Amino acid sequence: MLTALSIRDVVLIERLDLVFAPGLTVLTGETGAGKSILLDALGLALGARAEAGLVRNGATQATVTAEFDLPKTHPARALLAEQDITPSDDTLVVRRTLGSDGRSRAFIDDQPVGVGLLKKLGASLIEVHGQFDAHALFDSETHREILDAHGRLTGDVANVANAWGAWKEARDAHQKAKTDADRARAHEQELRDHLETLTALAPKDGEAAKLMAQRATLQHHDLLVQALQAAEAELVGARGAQPAIERARRGLDRAADKVGAPLDSARQALDRAQAELDEAIGALHTIGASLDPADASLEKVDDRLHDLKTHARRHGVEPDALPALVERLQRELALVEGGGAAIDKLAKAEQVARAAYVDAATSLSAKRAAAAKKLDKAVAAELPPLKLEKARFATELDLLPESDWGPNGRERAVFAVATNPGQKLGPLAKIASGGELARFLLALKVVLAGVGSARTLVFDEVDAGVGGATADAVGERLNRLAEQAQVLVVTHSPQVAARGAIHLRVEKGGKTKVATNVVTLDDTGRREEVARMLSGAVVTDEARAQAKRLMNT
């Protein structure tokens, strides 16, 4: 939910701070007062295209900051987590600066981010609906997802996706086995020759690395022997460390017979030293035994390494990868010699997985068809009060060819409309006029309330071109939406304005320079503004009385 909006130096707005609340907020004002500037500023904060013309004349930079209440379960948090951004609490702050040179910068919780991320985040926070907005409902790619959410088919879609994954895995395994078998048959003799040579070589896992270490040891054999002998002499010789520790311990033992406890810690330390010394001497003996070149010579090690490296280069692998190469060649020959039994088994597994997918997708298709009928009926019920009684709305489900099947099922969902009798159903954006389009979107949003992550909805003159009962129907539906989401509406309709829980009046004024300001109206101010919208420049008592009746209703 949008909780605050701060605007600095945007077009005619020098400084403006607004606070928002849940429910229905209406924005009214004379034509040209600057209502569209507010929406442009909000759009700038949410990643809309930045144009230098938005910077107030005489200012060097425009800044817009929007603050949102962001529950722990909001989907926007997953998007932020992908970018290693974690809001510190339930409040999220986005900010956009725009220089007079047209360059802009974006921030999320004071962390600099790309405008692309800001735009994605904005789409999950706020939906803007107007007569000419490029809205997500225009994109048929979103219609299936909307239908599934409306029909509560998320679990069914997940089942289809799992079945699709299993089928794809089985199909890939089958295809790979066939490809490997075809290649093996084409090069069967070559495979046999390679396998025979490598089997005779008998490479072992990690053998090359071990030989390299052994080679280094053999190259410095004499140096190591001398070092070991010198170390052992220092430790166990007549004047070495081991006899010295033994002598010290005997001396302390004799004294301990007389003084006792004061020498215990020293005696224990000598015991530990003796144990460590014994371990070191044992390690020297072990190393010395391993240096015996009786079973291995530098020449033999070099010859073995040369053979491994030669065969590795021939097959384009590392020496330590030769054992795995042997296993792969054996598998490929097994495909040839097995007479296709393994491939038949994989083909059967693919058929079983495909059948499971088809079953899950068929079930989902039936549920989608039922959900589409309910959606069409619900939207149809909303159209007559919105002066669209001759219009038709239909959710079309088109079966896809098998090559286009996927984790979301086997059909494409498309929202189609016709605004006049006898007219062919067509895409929403191409069939409806500006005013009709806005009201269609309102009808859809009322029916689809709760679908989507955005909990703030902005309607820009959704009531344009209508009045009387139709305008009242628009207001009633906006009010219903506001029970489930925060709704902001820019309106010229007194019937809509009268329903606002919060009423913001946009005014243009200033003695020395023109500026846009926004005033939050109290009950008296609301009544006066609705009366002005009813009567025009001169507000009459009759208009005030009618405004009061509208607000009470």
Q: Could you give phi then psi for residue 288, rounded to 5 degrees? A: -60, -40
* pLDDT (0 to 100) of residue 470: 84
Interval 33-55 mean pLDDT: 86
Q: Give the model confidence (pLDDT) of 280-299 as tens digits.
A: 777 767 766 666 555 557 77
pLDDT digit string, tens, across residues 311-332? 889 888 898 899 998 888 888 7
Mean pLDDT of 453-467: 77
Distance CA 331, CA 225 (A): 47
pLDDT at 521: 92
Task: Quote the pLDDT of residue 163.
Answer: 97
Supply the DSSP symbol for 292. -
Three-class DSSP category at 391 = coil
Better-scored residue on pLDDT, 426 or 159 = 159
Q: 97 forms bridges with which residues in the sheet? A: 63, 105
User: d(Cα 457, Cα 437) in Å, to the nearest integer?
Assistant: 16
Model pLDDT, residue 132: 46
In the chain, the N- to C-terminal Cα span, in Å, equals: 27
What confidence score (pLDDT) does residue 240 get? 75
Alpha carbon distance 256, 263 (integer Å): 6
> What does the pLDDT average to over 456-471?
80
pLDDT at 451 over 60: yes
Q: What domains appear along the chain, each with residue ranges and CATH number?
A: 1-131+455-466+483-517 (3.40.50.300), 177-341 (no CATH), 521-553 (no CATH)
More confident residue, 415 or 224: 415
What are 13-21's contacts with CB under 8 Å, separation 24+?
13/37, 13/38, 13/41, 13/56, 13/515, 13/516, 13/517, 14/56, 14/515, 16/516, 16/517, 16/518, 18/504, 18/518, 20/486, 20/488, 20/502, 21/486, 21/501, 21/502
State the average pLDDT over residues 515-521: 88
Q: How far is CA 428 from CA 104, 139, 379, in A?
A: 34, 9, 13
Q: Comparing 229 with 487, which gets the higher pLDDT?
A: 487
* pLDDT for position 468: 81
Predicted local confidence at residue 292, as pLDDT = 58
* Residue 341: predicted pLDDT: 78
What residues contact residue 101 under an 8 Å CB cut-off, 6+ apart? 52
pLDDT of residue 131: 52
CA atoms within 13 A on the CB side of 308: 23
Of 140-144, 201-205, 373-377, 521-525, minimum mean pLDDT range: 140-144
pLDDT at 547 over 60: yes
> H-helix or E-strand containing 489?
strand 486-490
> What pLDDT sits at residue 487?
92
Give me the residues paired with residue 93 across strands.
Answer: 67
Predicted confidence (pLDDT) per residue in 469-507, tens digit: 888 888 888 888 888 889 999 888 899 999 999 999 988
List, as one string, the DSSP characters of 61-127. EEEEEEEEE--TT-THHHHHHHTT---SSSEEEEEEEEETTS-EEEEETTEEE-HHHHHHHHHHHEE
pLDDT exceeds cutoff 50 at 145:
yes
Higher pLDDT, 280 or 414: 414
How high is the pLDDT of residue 37? 85
Backbone angles phi, psi at 62, to 5 degrees: -105, 145
Pick from 17, 97, 30: nearest CA to 60: 97
Single-letter amino acid, residue 260: G
Please report which confidence band the pLDDT of residue 134 belongs to, taking 50, 70 and 90 as the band edges: very low
Confidence grade of residue 93 (pLDDT, cut at 50, 70, 90): very high
For residues 100 and 425, the answer to whether their CB atoms sit within 8 Å is no
Alpha-helix residue ranges (DSSP H) falling in 291-340: 298-315, 322-337
Average pLDDT over residues 201-224: 78
DSSP lists the bridge partners of residue 490 as: 27, 460
CA distance 330 to 105: 59
Burial (0-12, 13-18, 19+ Cβ within 10 Å), 455: buried
The two structure tokens encoding residue 244: 């010295």
pLDDT at 247: 82
Q: Is 400 helix (H, G, I), strand (E, B) or coil?
A: coil
- Cα distances from 275 to residues 246, 470, 537, in angstroms, run 12, 97, 104
Contact indicator for 27, 460 with CB cutoff of 8 Å? no
Would you say residue 130 has pLDDT above 80? no
Q: Which amino acid is at 18?
A: L
Choice among 49-53, 107-111, 335-339, 404-408 with the minimum mean pLDDT: 335-339
- Give the pLDDT of residue 347: 93
Question: Average model confidence (pLDDT) for the chain?
Answer: 84
| 157-177 pLDDT tens trace | 999 999 999 999 999 999 988
d(CA 496, CA 469): 11
Sheet holding 411-418, edge to edge: 392-399, 411-418, 426-427
